[in-house]
Structure 1
């Protein structure tokens, strides 16, 4: 595998499993060191043990708590000497009520986790990224681009996209890049308690499969590397074609044409 992250350091939020863990492994495989943050201490410890202390550092972080973010960034810079890439992966759908019944508290909880949390991570990492002409890749969703339900989650994801465009323009002069990866449905542990759901979702996708965490990790590695050195402010959908439209039905007649 090419070593696009040799000598570079990334911080990945929600890096213990699913998309986050795939991103961590991809960056490490390409020669980078990774600050792995998550709320699940046992899982980040296991991942760091897998990669080794020269490749990874564990930090328990709740992205709604700025002091925890700052501590993780400081610990990573102290260990590895720099920070080149922030991957904002933390988030999730935390509201299950109908949108017309969502309370202010539920709205705030969703926005704090998915949008404000990403903003706080950027604020903490930015001085170090400016020193290294680094970049930020935020994991948004196709929900931020089209109507797939989950109104509050979708609004937060759309907010990430708007924030990224504005930051790309604001900080382009300093060489810091900001981009988005927008996944479709990805096979992660979040679906483990919903048997059969992913099989039903396959029918939505022209490529006839659900995405894997490694599909997203590959896109993050591209945008986070020098291969994307002249790309900023973009949203890269990685979604099996679902935004293009539903799979085309086979309308070929199965028998002789009606000659009547």
Structure 2
């Protein structure tokens, strides 16, 4: 019996990277996955790839900054799969810092917080009644080590720290209703955001106790654990999946600067 046989799953920003790897992982374990992304074509490619491998997946265009779009995605998942058991909040926005903090732009701050934190809030709010109804509901938020330690990116880091706080408060609210809420805090993961920067990634590898940067599949494996019944007594947790970087001192600030 596959762990997610019969499950309905919705994943945001699943058109590439961590979201796409998670969609493949959960579908490979029997889930019916709604691959959502602001880029519908990218979502469609991931869903098609899952179907080619014998899995069940559909795509849906969703901007987590738009409440109506989020509610439409959740409704489509429930209508298509007959239920919703797992929500994976993966969407985020991350803009580079200004050289001086006092030069930071209000719009950049607002965008990073809106997509990264408020977007997850919108998705959880829309999904929660259906997760309660499933009797085995789980929310897995994709946070970041930036929400734990200083790795730069003021707005993004504040949003990820806020997402960890929301994870705890929502876990307390939703636990008695049968829904678990947890967060994964990845370190550096080799995604499209690092395209063309292989030399920098190779240097960063040296800063990780386990000797490499992460791969999307590393995070997908952690999502699969937290979303499954294997973690049925785990809620409100922040799980670093970071090659050990938050456990030890590192030279990240030096490299970043």
**If the TM-score is normalised by the length of the shorter chain, which range does it land in?**
over 0.9
Indicate the SS of the match to 1:204. Answer: coil
1:154-233 matches, within 5 Å, as 154-233=157-236
Instruction: Indicate conservation of the 8 Å contact 2:14/2:43, yes or no.
Output: yes
Shift in CA distance, 132/42, structure 1 to aligned 2, threshold 3 Å: same
Deviations 1:89-111 (A, max 9, x none): 00031243243211222211110
Which protein is bigger by CA-based radius of gyration?
Answer: 1
Residue number among 90, 99, 106 corresponding to 1:104 in the alignment? 106
Give the whole-Å Cα distance in 1 for the aligned partners of 2:8 and 2:44.
18
Q: In structure 1, list runs of 5 or more residues that go unmatched.
A: 248-260
Instruction: Indicate conservation of the 8 Å contact 1:205/1:246, yes or no.
Output: no
What's the CA shift for 1:62? 0.7
- Number of the residue aligned with 2:62: 61
1:1-260 matches, within 5 Å, as 3-52=2-51, 55-98=56-99, 99-133=101-135, 134-246=137-249
Give the whole-Å Cα distance in 2 for the aligned partners of 1:24 and 1:114.
19
Indicate the SS of the match to 1:233. Answer: coil
Give the whole-Å Cα distance in 1 for the aligned partners of 2:95 and 2:62.
18
Give the whole-Å Cα distance in 1 for the aligned partners of 2:77 and 2:217.
24
Give runs of ≥4 in structure 1 deviating > 6 Å.
none
Range that drifts further, 12-21 or 97-106:
97-106
Deviations 1:44-100 (A, max 9, x none): 111111222971110011100011111111111111100000000000312432432
Deviations 1:132-189 (A, max 9, x none): 1301000000000111111111100000000110011111111111000000000001
Indicate the SS of the match to 2:139. Answer: strand
Give the whole-Å Cα distance in 2 for the aligned partners of 1:106 and 1:142.
20
TM-score (norm 1): 0.91
What's the CA shift for 1:246? 4.3
Indicate the SS of the match to 1:245. Answer: coil
Instruction: Indicate conservation of the 8 Å contact 2:28/2:55, yes or no.
Output: no
